[in-house]
Amino acid sequence: MKKVGVAILGLGVVGGGTYKILTEHRQFYRDTQNVDIEVVTVLERDKGRFETLGVPQELVAKNVFEVVSNPDVNIVVECLGGITEARGYVLDALNAGKTVVTSNKELFCKYSHELERAAKRTNAGLYFEASCVGGVPIIRTLLDGVQANHISSIQGIINGTTNYILTRMSKDGMSYEDALAEAKKLGYAEADPTADVEGFDAAYKLSILSSLAFHTKVPFAKVFREGISGISHEDIANGNGLGYTLKLLAVGKQTDRGIEVRVHPTFVKNGHPLAGVDESFNAVFLTGDSVGEVMLYGKGAGELPTGSAIVSDIIYAATHEGSRYSTFKNNATADKDVKFVSDFESAYYLRLTVTDRAGALAKLAALFAKNNISIVELLQKSCGEDSATVVLVTHTTHETAVKNAIARINGSDVAKVESVIRVLS
Residue 191 to residues 182, 186, 196, 197, 385, Cα–Cα distance (Å): 12, 11, 11, 12, 43
Pick the CATH number of 345-423 from 1.20.272.10, 3.30.70.260, 3.30.460.80, 2.60.40.150: 3.30.70.260
Per-residue confidence (pLDDT) for residue 104, from 0 to 100: 97
Buried b (16+ CB within 10 A) or exposed e, 294-333: eebbbbbbbbbbbbbbbbbbbbbbbeeeebeebebebeee
Mean pLDDT confidence for 159-186: 94
Q: What is the pLDDT of residue 135?
A: 93
Task: Tell me what pLDDT residue 237 has.
Answer: 94
Spelled out in words, what is the top-level CATH class assigned to the domain 138-299? alpha beta
Name the residues annotated as catalytic. Answer: 205
Domain residue extents for the chain: 2-131, 138-299, 345-423
- pLDDT, position 385: 74
Q: How far apart are CA 378 and CA 388, in angstroms?
A: 13
Q: Which whole number is the average pLDDT over 261-285?
A: 96
- pLDDT for residue 250: 98
Q: Average model confidence (pLDDT) for the chain? A: 95
pLDDT for 356 equals 80
DSSP, residue by residue, 322-353? S----SS---SS--TT--B-SS-EEEEEEEEE
Closest CA to 340 of 248, 216, 249: 216
Pseudo-torsion of CA 394, 395, 399, 404, nearest 10°?
-50
Q: What's the topology of domain 2-131?
A: Rossmann fold (3.40.50)
pLDDT confidence band for 186 (50 / 70 / 90)? confident
Asked if residues 134 and 160 have their Cβ atoms less than 8 Å apart, the reply is yes
Cβ atoms 261, 155 nearer than 8 A: no
pLDDT digits (tens, 9 = 90+) for 295-305: 999 998 889 99
pLDDT value of residue 361: 86
